[in-house]
Amino acid sequence: MTDETLAFSPDHFSGLARVFPLPNLVMFPHVMQAMHIFEPRYRALFEEAVEDDRLIALGVLAPGWEADYEGRPALRETACLCRIASHQRTPEGTYNVLLLGVRRVQLVRELPPEKPFRVIEASILDDLLPAQVSAEAGATAQRQLLAAFKQAMPKIPDSYDQLDQLLGSQITLGMLTDIVAYTVDLELEVKLALLAEQDVYRRTHMLLETLGKPPSGKAQRRPFPPAFSLN
């Protein structure tokens, strides 16, 4: 992967998102996700993206999607715009793909079904940093979240040292919230709420509050250390 491959600017985004909808994966900016693409419609989506802007939006299907999976079931309003970092075509014609999350997007209006896959008008949701929050308060919030993240991680030998190395002072609080939200075991609805929240400090508060509670029901588990990018 080159810097050029991973680089993203909002100017790269046309405002039209090719959406790859998934039932229970919530993707976040600043992390990487491996995918195996095998359905013909999503292979067509991927192939067009590679030839164009290398962008795919990972969306989340709304409840009730099972009744219309082959069609166009409802989607959650917030998705993660991803850049294709690398890919490999298999002998069967499927693809192994590595995606880098680059921005939150709000899905606004679906275009008529002229392609095998879904294309939706979308707007980028930038992180918001309230002006009234001081740099000192932000640094304190980052230390608190990193400490809570450490407590939430399995007690793997040397894992704390890895965290300190991976999540040093060079990353922002917004990046840290997204890495934590992607990695730890959280309910699907909680992850969706974190993805939809643009205010970095509210996102931090939500995580700190949630990490203080034991998970209930089925949660998502991510490998540690997580794959992420400073882009």
Q: How high is the pLDDT of residue 154?
A: 67
Alpha-carbon gap, residue 231 to 173, rounded angstroms: 14
Structure tokens at 96: 């192994």
pLDDT tens-digit readout, 174-228: 999 999 999 998 999 999 999 999 999 999 999 999 998 654 444 444 544 444 4
* CB within 8 Å of 173: residues ≥ 6 apart: 138, 141, 142, 145, 200, 201, 204
Say how many CA atoms lie within 13 Å of 130 toward its Cβ.
Answer: 11
pLDDT tens-digit readout, 141-177: 988 998 898 888 766 556 666 666 666 657 889 999 9
Sequence ranges of the domains in the chain:
3-125, 135-211
Of residues 116 and 167, the one with the higher pLDDT is: 116
Q: Is 179 exposed, middle or buried (0-12, 13-18, 19+ CB in 10 A)?
A: buried
Superfamily of chain region 3-125: LON domain-like (2.30.130.40)
Q: How big is the chain by its Cα radius of gyration, in Å?
A: 18
Q: Which residue carries 């979240």 as its tokens?
A: 145
Residue 140 sits at φ, ψ, to 5 deg, of -65, -45
**Paired sense of beta strands 78-89 and 55-60, if any:** antiparallel
